[in-house]
A and B are shown apart, each in its own frame.
Chain A
Amino acid sequence: MAGIARRRLLTTTAWLLCGAASARAMTVKGALPWAPGEADPPQPARPGPWVFFTPEEGADVEALADRLIPPDPDTPGGRDSGCAVFIDRQLAGAYGSYQGYYMRPPFQDGSKEQGMQSPVTPAQRYRAALAALDKHCRAAFAGKPFAQIPDDQKDAIIRGLESSSLQLDGSSGRAFFELLLKDTQHGFLADPIYGGNRDMAGWKMIGFPGARYDYRDWVERHNEPYPRPPMGIEGRPAWTPPRSQ
């Protein structure tokens, strides 16, 4: 479905650009502003080639995601759920560059209580950490990238990053681990419109019905399983007739 970017069509009754006052403010007077077709829907992640990652980076992140959230017979793992796609699209967007954050200097380390004080954006951190990880793996595993080493070795590396016992060259392993874990888990559980949680697998696993909005008939049905399948912002399969029709 073609996304409609925010269109602002002037309605003559409500939106006045006052000549006398600021011409660059929106003045609201007389009626609630409204224009046909105006909306601000989310930008969907579309299937396709990596937007931020190189193919090698993408393969490594898929492999990392698949260890952080391994596949099992009932539910896909991080890779098949699209966690790496999610991360890729997020890093290519506002999140990747910390858009909206206060990023003025001076940057200085503070206490834990003072929160994030690094100028390194998620995009920069992934790039640097993945390069350092790749360098480490090729050195330690006869030229193999992370994606191609055995699973137990992958887990050992991740545990090393988690405990800070494994240092990455020029990049904080622990900080990367925290960021990657958070992003992977978010990719598993965010709305599928963003590229992860493919087929709502994460939601189905835990029993979250998704972007539903009306539970009036269910509030007082205590201790009963909720029967409706999950839906995402873009809907669910039942919105489209089966192919045979």
Chain B
Amino acid sequence: MRSGVLLAAAVLGLAITAARAAQDKQNFTIIERGRYLALLGDCAACHTEPGSGQAFAGGRPIETPFGTVLAPNITPDRDTGIGAWTDDEFVDALQKGVGRGGVHLYPAMPYTYYTRATREDVLAIRAYLATVAPVRHAVVSNQLPFPFDIRASMLAWNRLFFSPGRLAPTPAKSAEWNRGAYLVEGLAHCGMCHTPKNFLGGDETSQHLKGNVVQGWYAPDITDDARRGLGGWSVDDIVAYLRSGHNRIAAASGPMAEEVTRSSAQMDESDLRAIAVYLKDQPGGEEHAAPLAVDDARMRTGSAIYADECSACHTPNGGGIAGLFPALNGAPAVQSADPTSLIRVVLQGAQSAATPAAPTGPAMPQFAWLLDNAKVASVITYIRNAWGNAAPPVSIERVAAERHRLSRRAD
């Protein structure tokens, strides 16, 4: 049956050639999709050292509660990057948290979120990464102190805190909602910053998206909570914020400004809407304590400081100026359960995001030179409880601790 074998071989050969041809024709589309998804997942945030001009070459230190890790080189360099990895190895890294050679990744790499991405999406990212300039840059990722530097310990951690696998769609919800879920819970990895962690660094799933301290900032509640979350924001407000870093209420600064400028400012409108729709459907918490009394000593001094130092920008009634000075009246950032960001911004100032849609990038000046801890505590307590706002007061001790912490940070 030689002719049969030959025929079969020929057919097989043709099939292989045909398959390769089909792959080539789709190359551009896959790579472009991969570029978009890498942007969405914001791989560059960790894997590109700022100012280095070398995309994805790794080396950027990532703070974790257990020490620092350095993001690896994910350029196609064969020796120091991922050029020699197979497709399956790359997919396993994102979906299972396991690198080449069975090396466990630390969850500073958000595989706990990226696991929800489809194989197709992950391979598109791979196809894109394969086209970036290879950079020879050896990075020793594991900079953690003993005993956290033992990667095998991740086995136990994963068992506790990692549920690998794709999200099942929720048929009762719209396609837009499901797309939002796929993004928020997956590549966009919002919970990485916005969900509080337990003492072992795993997600506090009962507090899903309800706010978390990260890199010395408080990433706020992004559920539909009326006071502390997005309850007062429309879908349009959320989209405007993600697109431009600004909306009629808030301005992105700190790590969120980085996120917006690098990632969401360049995302498709439909994806931003999907994220907004999904977030608006995450239920908020219960209404809590009433505002502090107007004649509370802190409210009186805080009110004087506010009128004298803050109102020239934020306006006497806390309404701010849309696109320029954030509103404080009704603002979720102001009424956050945790005042870390508020204290930080008052002490150090902050530069807001500058994007093509909102290029101004106004900055808040620093007040550490002018306001001692008592004054910072009063004015923040005041804005948290004025104009109908209600949130726990901030103590002098809390401000002092934050001032001390900030003096030891490089950023």
Pick the most buried of A11, A214, A228, A245: most chain B CB atoms within 10 A of its CB: A214
A225 and B130 CA atoms in complex are apart in Å by 72
- Known contacts A37-B348, A241-B301; 19 additional CB pairs below 8 A are A1-B370, A3-B369, A4-B369, A11-B411, A12-B49, A12-B50, A36-B348, A36-B406, A36-B411, A37-B366, A37-B406, A38-B366, A39-B365, A212-B308, A214-B311, A231-B308, A235-B309, A239-B305, A240-B301
A38 and B367 CA atoms in complex are apart in Å by 10
Find B316's partner among A2, A214, A231, A240 (CB 8 Å cutoff). Answer: A214
Interface band, chain B? 35 or more
* Shortest Cβ gap from A230 to chain B (Å): 10
Contact across chains for A13 and B51 when beta carbons are under 8 A apart = yes
Pick the most buried of B354, B370, B410: most chain A CB atoms within 10 A of its CB: B370
A193 and B309 CA atoms in complex are apart in Å by 16
Contact across chains for B374 and A240 when beta carbons are under 8 A apart = yes
Q: Across the two chains, which residue of chain B brings its CB closest to A212?
A: B308
* Shortest Cβ gap from B61 to chain A (Å): 12
A239 and B350 CA atoms in complex are apart in Å by 23
Q: Mark A23-53, 1 if CB is under 8 A from B, else 0.
A: 0000000011010111101000000000000
Chain B residues with CB under 8 Å of A216's CB are 316
* Shortest Cβ gap from B375 to chain A (Å): 6
Contact residues, B333-381 vs A (CB, 8 A): 347-351, 354, 361, 363, 365-366, 368-372, 374-375, 378
Contact across chains for B370 and A213 when beta carbons are under 8 A apart = no
Q: Across the two chains, which residue of chain A brings its CB closest to B345?
A: A36
Chain A residues with CB under 8 Å of B305's CB are 235, 239
* Shortest Cβ gap from A80 to chain B (Å): 25
Chain B residues with CB under 8 Å of A31's CB are 354, 361
Q: Knowing A4-B368, A213-B312, A239-B375 touch, does A32 contact B354 (C-beta < 8 A)?
A: yes
Q: Which 5 A-B pairs have the closest CB atoms?
A: A213-B312, A12-B51, A238-B304, A12-B50, A34-B351
A12 and B371 CA atoms in complex are apart in Å by 28
Q: Can you list 14 A-B pairs with a CB-CB distance of less than 8 A? A: A3-B369, A11-B411, A36-B348, A36-B350, A36-B411, A37-B349, A37-B366, A217-B316, A228-B307, A235-B305, A235-B309, A238-B301, A239-B301, A240-B301
Q: Mark A213-240, 1 if CB is under 8 A from B, else 0.
A: 1101100000000001001011110111
B293 within 8 A of A: no
Q: Across the two chains, which residue of chain A brings its CB closest to B311?
A: A214
A149 within 8 A of B: no
Q: Knowing A13-B51, A41-B369 touch, does A241 contact B300 (C-beta < 8 A)?
A: yes
Contact across chains for A39 and B354 when beta carbons are under 8 A apart = no
A37 and B216 CA atoms in complex are apart in Å by 14
A9 within 8 A of B: yes
B7 within 8 A of A: no
A31 and B360 CA atoms in complex are apart in Å by 11
* Shortest Cβ gap from B133 to chain A (Å): 20
Q: Mark A62-95, 1 if CB is under 8 A from B, else 0.
A: 0000000000000000000000000000000000
A166 within 8 A of B: no
B10 within 8 A of A: no
A59 within 8 A of B: no
* Shortest Cβ gap from A192 to chain B (Å): 14
A210 and B360 CA atoms in complex are apart in Å by 30
A157 within 8 A of B: no
Q: Across the two chains, which residue of chain B brings its CB closest to A2?
A: B369
Find A39's partner among B49, B304, B369 (CB 8 Å cutoff). Answer: B369
Chain A residues with CB under 8 Å of B294's CB are none
Chain B residues with CB under 8 Å of A241's CB are 297-298, 300-301, 374, 378
A238 and B349 CA atoms in complex are apart in Å by 23
Q: Across the two chains, which residue of chain A brings its CB closest to B351?
A: A34
